[in-house]
Structure 1
Amino acid sequence: MVYVETVEPGHFTLADLETLPDDGNRYEVVDGMLLVTPAPLPIHQTAVLELAVALRERCPEDLKVFVAPVDFRPTPTRSVQPDVLVCHRRHVGERTIEKPLVLAVEVLSQSTSLADRVLKRRLYEQAGVASYWIFDPAKEELTVLELDGDTYVERAVVIGKDSFEAELPFPVRIIPGDLVV
């Protein structure tokens, strides 16, 4: 196996992802930049699992719920792995998903907060992801963004035991405080 130490920063390709070690880190490529995220903490994984289960229970048959690591490759120079995603079943490829997602969810952690709030928001917006949820487990806060044209609009910020009645990607009730128990 060839490791990518020879690749200059800013010149990573999707093909380079195949040469990276299976070491518990999450590797993503955005326009030549390699993003490395360490293994998540238990509170993060608890929120990911609870969100995925809540979505899976209400998911219509034409859609599919995944948890990371699943590659979403909206362009030939971008590969990102939302913590939870929902897409059309017909868009699931053998190794990746390339068509716009119906929902991308990022669960914040200390090491990913800035990238999730700024970089990934922009990437998902540019990729035409219909809805983007950002969940902060420390605050038990869910921020819901939905595309309005080609720009995200904040639809809701829900905290603690308040409930969010989603319409996108499909009707589902989410209570942020229940995601971290």
Structure 2
Amino acid sequence: MRLVFVGESYLEHKGDTMTSAILSDGMPISEEDFLAMGETPDRIELFDGSLHMTPNPTTTHQHLLGELFAALRLPARDAGLRVLLAPNVRLQPNRIPIPDLVITSDMERKLAIEAETVLLTCEITSPSNAATDKVLKMHYYASAGIPWYLLVEQATAALRLYRLAGETYVEHAVVEQGAILRLREPVVATLDPAELAPPV
């Protein structure tokens, strides 16, 4: 099977015919086929056999992500960990989202990292993806046992940190501009919304 990008979806190419790789019988795309796509020009995630494409990030999103990476990179290195931007994270078979940022113990070079090596995932929310980040992905990351989940509001740079309690996340800290989030796990670091936000 070969996947071809056409318009806003990937299509399955079989001989001279094209059929949708998204609208099929419930499991249209296998993990093997997803990984065989390799690097793509768009962010494409695999959710239980369905492909999910995310629009290109805004400049505000990219600024926040760059500042977060800068704030966490050295603390992660000091803890024997590393920070990755937009990696494929294998939560379970046929479920591979792409968080904006992760802190992981995985030091190998490969197409996807395993959830058990991820200590923190981070998503930057916007009106177009808020429901996915606050409901769907939160549930998926918790089910995979990832200890910490950080949500960053794109509009205000407010930080919401969740910790895993059993199989669900509970709110650990909420920090808005004028306050500082002091991390003790999985790395020791401080995050200041005022410094993360783009200059006005």
TM-score by length of 1: 0.90
Q: Which residue is 2:3 aligned to? A: 2
Measured in 1, the distance between the counterparts of 2:109 and 2:74 equals 23
Larger RCO of the pair (alpha carbons < 8 Å, separation 6+): 1
Name the count of aligned residue pairs: 178
Q: Tell me by how many angstroms 1:120 deviates.
A: 0.5
CA RMSD of aligned residues (A): 1.8
Helix, strand or coil: the match of 1:107?
A: strand
Measured in 2, the distance between the counterparts of 1:98 and 1:138 equals 31
Does the 8 Å CA contact 1:26/1:37 hold for their aligned counterparts? yes
Measured in 1, the distance between the counterparts of 2:163 and 2:3 equals 40
Please list every run of 5 or more consecutive structure 1 residues that lacks an aligned counterpart in the other structure: none
Measured in 2, the distance between the counterparts of 1:140 and 1:19 equals 33
- The structure 1 residue matched to 2:132, chosen from 85, 90, 115, is 115
1:174 aligns with 2:175: no
1:138-177 maps to which residues of 2 (within 5 A)?
Answer: 138-177=155-194
Identity of aligned residues (%): 30
Moved more, 71-80 or 10-19: 10-19
1:52 aligns with 2:53: no
Q: Which residue is 1:67 aligned to? A: 85
Q: Which residue is 1:39 aligned to? A: 56
Deviations 1:117-146 (A, max 9, x none): 100000100011110000002022111000
Does the 8 Å CA contact 1:132/1:144 hold for their aligned counterparts? yes
Query: Residues 85 and 8 (structure 1 numbering): CA distance in 2 closer, same or farther, change over 3 Å?
Result: closer
What residue identity is the alignment partner of 2:33?
Answer: D
Does the 8 Å CA contact 2:156/2:197 hold for their aligned counterparts? no
Please list every run of 5 or more consecutive structure 2 residues that lacks an aligned counterpart in the other structure: 5-9, 12-18
Measured in 1, the distance between the counterparts of 2:148 and 2:138 equals 10
Measured in 2, the distance between the counterparts of 1:127 and 1:162 equals 31
Does the 8 Å CA contact 1:62/1:89 hold for their aligned counterparts? no
TM-score by length of 2: 0.82
Give the structure with higher Rg (CA): 2
Q: Tell me by how many angstroms 1:20 deviates.
A: 7.8
Measured in 2, the distance between the counterparts of 1:61 and 1:136 equals 27
Measured in 1, the distance between the counterparts of 2:51 and 2:143 equals 19
Measured in 2, the distance between the counterparts of 1:116 and 1:151 equals 14
